[in-house]
Amino acid sequence: MSSQYADNSATTLQREVERRRTFAIISHPDAGKTTLTEKLLMYGGAIRSAGTVKAKKSNQFATSDWMEVEKQRGISVASSVMQFEHQGCVINLLDTPGHQDFSEDTYRVLTAVDAALMVIDAAKGVEAQTIKLLEVCRLRKTPVITFINKMDREVREPLELIDEIEDILKLGCAPITWPVGMGKDFAGVYDLHKAQMLKFMPGVNNLGDESIEVLDGADHPFLRDHYPIAHASFKEELEVVEAAAEPFDHEAFLNGNISPVFFGSAINNFGVRDILQALVEWAPAPRPREAKQRTVYPDAPDFTGIVFKIQANMNPQHRDRIAFLRICSGEYRQGLKVKHVRSAKPIRLDHAITFMAQERAHLSSAYAGDIIGIPNHGKLRIGDVITQGDMIELEGIPHFSPEIFKVARLNDPLRAKQLNKALKELGEEGTIQVFDPLEKTGIVLGAVGQLQFETVAHRLLTEYKIDAAFDRVPVQKALWVKGDDAHMKKFTQANANRLARDAAGALAFMSPNRAVLELTMEKWPDITFQSTREIG
Ligand code: G4P
């Protein structure tokens, strides 16, 4: 961590910041994210038995204080952020929702982490959702650790999987471990750096180092005797890997160009220790963030945080929200007096929630890198900054070009005015993107996941008493457009029927198909078309 404060002898704040690792697991559904999360938490001592995370998923877990919070507020915050300690590091694991929950929230979570752990199902390789999530990582140069899971099954050839990651995801791969065999013949993984073989022992709950058996060298007689075929192909692959694979370069990893790759089997707890080790050793501590006015250093004494997710209360009686805030600098303490930059008003942080997967659920302090939850009544929005210091605008929470477009259809036509107001409010809050066509043909909603429409329908009904359904519209892509005043004026006049303003007033081109988009882009070379827009 480079810092203007690094000259002084390390303060508590600096030590606490330096030992934080904040990351998210990204994967396509079914690759093993939940299983791996659970094993990581068990390793970290945060939970004692397998099944806890799964049970949380299905709402059967009800022992911690968390569930009280959850019950009272009627929302699901418990499994969103998990914190545990490992080898002196405080690890924050942020949940990215699965396929059926896929929404802009999923993307935004990635703006709050310093590293990502990508889980690939070794039988399937790179899948659709992984591609999307990795695009966001690339945008922010997030370092990615790769875990190739399910080696205890008959899967694809490891060399082929590495090629696929490099080709499709455009991410350099530096294998750290390499598998010997697969499925019934899976003997374990060979650590290329340590020249040691870690023996796979299915069913053994290898939670401690002492339960992991290590064989020295790639030619151990045990392998030749027990896994002759797997060992022979492993030796061939090893030659290729040692000759051709990218060496691990820490700097290239930190810039998001190279990913250390591990093979294993999450369900058998195999390879999990290696990942934690990589997180502790290689993943970055919280990094400085750029604000328009200056750089915000994580160990600066003034508290600064940015809201990256809003969890709305599903309880129709209240408009309570929890704003998830990533601390970017300084320390949170109960009763902290801060300023809300957008409204320029003071706020006192009294009841912030800290997320602990351990029993001591309520902490009185949190540091840069940590995530805290702030209950509020709709005052906080995505992208909002709160700070103890000078009024700054932090960069970092983009809007992503939506993929599904719909218009709201009212079941009670008399509520049209209220509908427009409600949609604008939900758009400002970040629940969904709203586009108001210049020709006033009715607000178009844009989302990256179907769930966002369901959330909007539910909230319209419970909070605004508006009964609405959604119909598809002939829009395939919305891109934000920019240019100098003269060009924009001409462009706007010529394309008014395809232009709309988003919640912040930014102009977007709503294209019905690729051909129209390409033609328009060709015709207007002085206009830039952007697929993301920074909130702010
Ligand atoms: P997700 O959160 O990414 O959606 O995946 P999840 O962990 O739920 O895992 C998806 C399925 O893959 C689960 O099986 C899980 O047990 C299995 N799985 C995870 N890791 C491994 C592994 O290393 N090896 C093998 N063979 N399977 C693995 P399921 O049948 O869908 O669920 P369940 O009945 O086992 O709970």
Residue 458: pLDDT band by 50, 70, 90 thresholds? confident
251 and 300 fall within a common domain: no
Q: Determine, yes or no, domain membership for 84.
A: no
- The answer to whether 118 touches 144, Cβ cutoff 8 Å, is yes
Q: Which of 256, 282, 308 is the last residue of a domain?
A: 282
Q: Determine, yes or no, domain membership for 92.
A: no
| CA-closest residue to ligand 1 atom 26 | 150
Assessment of whether the complete model's pTM goes beyond 0.80: yes
pLDDT higher than threshold 60 for residue 73: no
Please give the helix or strand (H or E) that residue 119 lies within, else none.
Answer: strand 115-121
Q: Which of 373, 397, 421 is the last residue of a domain?
A: 397
First and final CA of the chain: distance in angstroms?
Answer: 26
For position 81, what pLDDT does the model report? 83
| CA-closest residue to ligand 1 atom 11 | 30
Distance 157 CA to ligand 1 centre (A): 20
> How far is it, in rounded angstroms, from Cα 211 to Cα 268?
13
Q: Determine, yes or no, domain membership for 90.
A: no
186-220: pLDDT as tens digits? 999 999 999 999 999 886 656 665 567 888 888 88
Give the residue carrying structure tokens 């992208």: 383
Q: What residues flank ligand 1, with Cβ below 6 Å?
A: 27, 29-35, 98, 149-150, 152-153, 265-268
Task: Kindly report the backbone phi and psi dihedral angles of residue 472, in degrees, each rounded to the nearest multiple of 5, phi listed first.
Answer: -70, 150
Q: Worst-scoring range by mean pLDDT, 39-48, 294-303, 308-317, 360-369? A: 308-317
114-163: pLDDT as tens digits? 999 999 999 999 999 899 899 889 988 999 999 999 999 999 999 999 99
Distance 431 CA to ligand 1 centre (A): 30
Beta bridge partners of 146: 118, 261
- Token pair of 26 as six digits: 């990204």
- The answer to whether 87 touches 121, Cβ cutoff 8 Å, is no
Distance 433 CA to ligand 1 centre (A): 33
- Token pair of 313 as six digits: 């209360």
CATH number of the domain that residue 460 is part of: 3.30.70.3280
Q: Determine, yes or no, domain membership for 271.
A: yes
Q: Determine, yes or no, domain membership for 250.
A: yes
Q: What percentage of the chain exceeds 70 in pLDDT?
A: 85
| Residue closest to 267 by CA, chosen among 506, 465, 482, 32 | 32
Was 316 annotated as part of a binding site?
A: no
Q: Determine, yes or no, domain membership for 457.
A: yes
Distance 52 CA to ligand 1 centre (A): 14
364 and 405 fall within a common domain: no
For position 99, what pLDDT does the model report? 67
- Full domain range(s) for residue 321: 289-397
Q: Worst-scoring range by mean pLDDT, 182-186, 262-266, 317-321, 498-502? A: 317-321
Q: Give the dihedral sign, CA 290/291/295/297.
A: negative
52 and 183 fall within a common domain: yes
309 and 258 fall within a common domain: no
Domain count, the chain: 3
| CA-closest residue to ligand 1 atom 15 | 32
Higher pLDDT, 319 or 132: 132
Write the single-letter amino acid at 314. Answer: M
Q: Determine, yes or no, domain membership for 473.
A: yes
3-state percent helix, strand, coil for the chain, nearest multiple of 5 = 30, 30, 40
- The answer to whether 329 touches 302, Cβ cutoff 8 Å, is yes
270 and 177 fall within a common domain: yes
Average pLDDT of the chain, as a whole number = 85
> How far is it, in rounded angstroms, from Cα 398 to Cα 532?
6
> How far is it, in rounded angstroms, from Cα 212 to Cα 215?
10
350 and 379 fall within a common domain: yes
215 and 300 fall within a common domain: no
CATH number of the domain that residue 380 is part of: 3.40.50.300
356 and 419 fall within a common domain: no
378 and 409 fall within a common domain: no
75-126: pLDDT as tens digits? 344 447 888 889 999 999 998 876 666 778 888 899 999 999 999 999 999 9
302 and 229 fall within a common domain: no
Q: What number is the ipTM of this complex?
A: 0.97
Q: Determine, yes or no, domain membership for 105.
A: no
Q: Which of 282, 301, 329 is the last residue of a domain?
A: 282
152 and 264 fall within a common domain: yes
| Residue closest to 521 by CA, chosen among 473, 475, 474, 477 | 477
> How far is it, in rounded angstroms, from Cα 407 to Cα 424?
13
- Token pair of 495 as six digits: 């394309």
319 and 379 fall within a common domain: yes
411-431: pLDDT as tens digits? 888 888 899 889 988 887 788
Q: Which atom of ligand 1 is nearest to the CA of 266?
A: 23
> How far is it, in rounded angstroms, from Cα 209 to Cα 201?
13
